[in-house]
Amino acid sequence: MRRQALVKSLLLQAGVLGALFLLQFVLPPYHHSSVSKIMVLGAYAVGYNFLLGYTGLMSLGHAMFFAAGMYATGLGIYYWELAPTLGVAFGGLTALALSGVFGMFALRTTGVAFLIVTLMFGQTLFLSILYFDEFTFGQDGFTLSKYLPPLVLGGQEFAYADPGVRYNIGLLLLGAYLLLTTGIMLSPIGRVLIAIRENEARTQLLGYNVFAYKWFALTLSGTLSGLAGSVHGVLFSYVGVTFAEIHHSIDPLLWTLLGGTGTVIGPLAGTGIMFYLIDYTSSFTDQYRFVVGAILILIIIWFPLGLVGTLRKRWLTWLP
């Protein structure tokens, strides 16, 4: 039965990734670049969903991880002239360290207190970036385009700003995230994480060290989010404080809720839908916040399972 689930899930993901791969040859430039962005942000949402969807912990501070990865990468490249690949690795390590330490503290709290603690730490990082503006360029942020030598692979040069390179790195990142999270969810660890989401007290009474599992989930989720931030910084050549704002913590929550928590492709679907919804509405109105707000409220009242979750429950029970 688990083998079946694995096969289905991999097939679905392979299908989605394959479709995304083929899309790049037919998409007009505008949508080509939109989809690149959606894939990187979708990877962020997948990282977020690992905590919310599979472990049941809701965070309001993931922008902290995203921004930590992005700034570590960006500052490393800007000040220490790190190669972009090294910069991304440095960003990922920074996010790993931050989420690991943060988890030790934040996971002492549960429920609403956990939400507020994540919000507060996220806000602390945001304010720190503003306060140390001599180092971080505060409100303005900074661009990286001058500091990004092309990636050399097998004697060939790939410029990060090239749309095709961007698109395929985004695709690789997303694919790796999907594969990794699916692999973990179908492993013994994933089974325990789901059990914690369903009934934490009972899981403890089965003899599991619940704190350690939650810590693992938070650390992995934070690292994945941070790495997405690093890659975002390099691919789009900009590091800015908006990525540390509360709104940027709420976004993955919104995407995940919209797509469906605890589903494999829900977060990606949610990211894509929101991206195009905002893109579309802002072409004739600047009132996209209405859309965001209304969708949040509507989902939470009528579709707590999200789109993919609702689909799965009503019609397509085989969806992973």
Partner 1 sequence: MSAWFDENGPLVFLALLDGTVTAFVLALIALGLSLVFGVMRVVNVAHGEFFMLGAVVAWFTFDWIGDPLWGFLLALVVGPVLVGGLSIGADHFILRKISYNPESTIVATIGLLYILQQLALTVFGPESRPVEAPIYFRVQFPWFGYSGYKLLVAGAAAALLLLIRLLLKRSKLGLYMRATQQDPETAITFGVPTRRVHAAVFALGGGLAALAGVLVVPIRQADHLMGLEPLLLSFIVVIIGGLGSIRGTIVAAFIIGISDGIISVFYEPTLAKMLATLLVAIVLVFRPSGLFGEERV
Partner 2 sequence: MAALELLRTEKLCRQYGGLMAVDQVDFRLQQGQIRAIIGPNGAGKTTLVSLICGRTPASSGRIFFKGQDISSSSPARRVQAGIVYTFQVTSIFSKLSCYENVALAAQRFLKDRPDAQGSVREQDIASRVAVCLKEVGLAGVEEQEAGTLPYGHQKLLEVAMSLATGPELLILDEPTQGLAESEIQNLMELIRTISQSATVLLIEHNMPFVLNLAEQITVMTHGSILAEGTPEEIANHRDVQVAYLGT
- Smallest distance from partner 2 to CB 106, Å: 21
Q: Token pair of 299, please?
A: 């989902």
**Between 85 and 109, whose beta carbon lies closer to partner 1?**
109
Name the helix (H) or strand (E) containing 58.
none
Q: By CB under 8 A, is residue 191 in contact with partner 2?
A: yes
Cα-based distances in Å from 95 to 62, 144, 219, 229, 232:
11, 20, 8, 9, 14
**Binding site partner of 265, from partner 1, partner 2, none, Cβ cut-off 5-8 A by kind:** none
Distance CA 57, CA 206 (A): 20
Distance CA 142, CA 122 (A): 21
- Smallest distance from partner 2 to CB 187, Å: 9
**Between 104 and 116, whose beta carbon lies closer to partner 2?**
104
- Are the C-beta atoms of residues 160 and 150 closer than 8 Å to each other? yes
Number of residues that bind partner 2 (CB under 8 A): 19
**Binding site partner of 220, from partner 2, partner 1, none, Cβ cut-off 5-8 A by kind:** none
Q: CA torsion, points 247, 251, 252, 258, in degrees to nearest 10?
A: 150
Q: Token pair of 260, please?
A: 């469906």
- Are the C-beta atoms of residues 313 and 305 closer than 8 Å to each other? yes
Distance CA 95, CA 35 (A): 25
- Smallest distance from partner 2 to CB 262, Å: 11
Q: By CB under 8 A, is residue 289 in contact with partner 1?
A: yes
Name the helix (H) or strand (E) containing 254.
helix 246-259
**Between 57 and 210, whose beta carbon lies closer to partner 2?**
210
Site string for partner 2, 196-235 (x = CB under 8 A): --xx-xxxxxxxxxx-------------------------
In the set 21, 105, 280, 318, which binds partner 1 (CB under 8 A)?
A: 105
Summarize as ranges the residues that interact with partner 1 (CB under 8 A). Answer: 58, 60, 105-106, 108-109, 111-113, 115-117, 119-121, 123-124, 127-128, 130-131, 246, 250, 253, 257, 287-290, 292-297, 299-301, 304
